Amino acid sequence: MITSIQQLKKHLTLTEEELSWKESPNSLPILITDYYMSLMDKTDINDPLRRQCVPTAAENRTAGLEDPDPLAEVEHSPSSRFIHRYKNRIALLTTDVCAQYCRHCFRRRFTGNLMGPLTEEDIRDCCSYLEKHPEIKEILLTGGDVLTLSDSFLHHLISCLRKASPALVIRICTRMVAVNPDRITDSLISVFKSFPEAPFYLMTQFNHPRELTESAVKATAKFIDAGIPAMNQSVLLRGVNDNADTLEELCNSLVFNRIKPYYLFQGDLVTGTETFRVPLEKGLALEKELRKRLSGLAMPLYAADLPQGGGKVPLCGSYIEGKDERGWIFRTSDNQKRIYPDPQE
């Protein structure tokens, strides 16, 4: 486990930008698993895996409209540990700890601040809120990374949530399968299998094809084989996956391994992450190119989570150009026109 610049020096020749990084209220601690370190090309300072986990001085700078809480999560938090921004679902911040800290993390206001797991009071508050709000149909177990919690803690937490809302759909939001697949044990899977009443969904974050190793695929397959569907939420990251070939390979590899590409997120305006954000014009061009290359099953939804709590919106060009006496005018993905008429009756 790598936890400092000094330890990184033993594995990598660091650049001046990396050596100049300082831990600050706007940055995250260093934490890199030995497993993920083994995947890096240590001779390449631009290695896309290195870029995701080795900090640089760019984190210590604030650009434009960046904010520690760009999605206004605090404003939408009835409690310090859960967020209710959408009517039918809440996000529960189960812990601020991750197995590895991603340098593009959008929740750095919370993550890595040594608060630890939920307390019993936190769990009671959340369950009470669920009982009073039957419109909530889904809960996202997030953080931090929910799978840093022990099996026994997870069992207790899920038991409480199921009792408060028996039909609740639970999303397991984790990067663990990508950064520390050995955590996915038979004992962990048995925790989820012991709750057959309502479904779980595994929400992964694979950002680059090289993260889909044999170990990561096997770890994810344990969930899928237990009846828990897997869906992937990638972040579009400059210098990591901001080209069509990489994204095409990633999405097709995900589908081949029974993981549905769900979202491709435009980078959030969180403090210290400008170096990761891809210009929107380039992102839209990538989305257009991917629609030519990928099947509907393999195509993720390119989306942005808008600043100031504006919520998620799709980012894709409209193929409708207008309407005339013949019907609707469409432009195809290869730039041809087609007419689609409305019914006459």
Spot the catalytic one: 61, 89, 162, 288.
89
User: Within the chain, how many helices (H) and strands (E) appear?
Assistant: 11, 12
Task: Using pLDDT thresholds of 50, 70 and 90, give the confidence band for residue 128.
Answer: very high
Q: What is the DSSP letter of 67?
A: B
Spot the catalytic one: 50, 81, 85, 277.
85
pTM over 0.75: yes
Element holding 219 (H helix, E strand): helix 214-225
Whether 324 is catalytic is no
Spot the catalytic one: 291, 312, 316, 319.
312
Whether 268 is catalytic is yes
Spot the catalytic one: 105, 126, 173, 251.
105
CA 83-84-90 angle, to 5 degrees, is: 80
pLDDT at res. 65: 84
Instruction: DSSP for 90-125, please give it.
Output: EEEEEES--SS--TT-S-TTTTTSS--SPPHHHHHH
Spot the catalytic one: 50, 81, 102, 108.
102
Whether 312 is catalytic is yes
Distance CA 23, CA 192 (A): 37
Whether 305 is catalytic is yes
Spot the catalytic one: 42, 86, 282, 340.
86
Which two structure tokens, joined as six digits, stand for 186?
Answer: 């038979």
Whether 98 is catalytic is yes
Element holding 173 (H helix, E strand): strand 169-173
CATH superfamily of 63-314: Aldolase class I (3.20.20.70)
Handedness of CA 134, 136, 138, 144 (dihedral sign): negative
Whether 85 is catalytic is yes
Whether 86 is catalytic is yes
Spot the catalytic one: 50, 51, 107, 109.
107
Count other C-beta atoms under 10 Å from residue 336's C-beta.
8
> Can you tell me the mean pLDDT for 110-114?
90
- Domain map (residue ranges) of the chain: 63-314, 319-345
pLDDT digit string (tens) for 206-263?
999 999 999 999 999 999 999 999 999 999 999 999 999 999 999 999 999 999 999 9
* 303 torsion bin: left (phi>0), alpha (psi -120 to 50), beta (else): beta
Distance CA 206, CA 210 (A): 9
pLDDT digit string (tens) for 69-81?
889 899 999 999 9
Whether 105 is catalytic is yes
Q: Which of 314, 302, 208, 203 is nearest to 259 (CA)?
A: 203
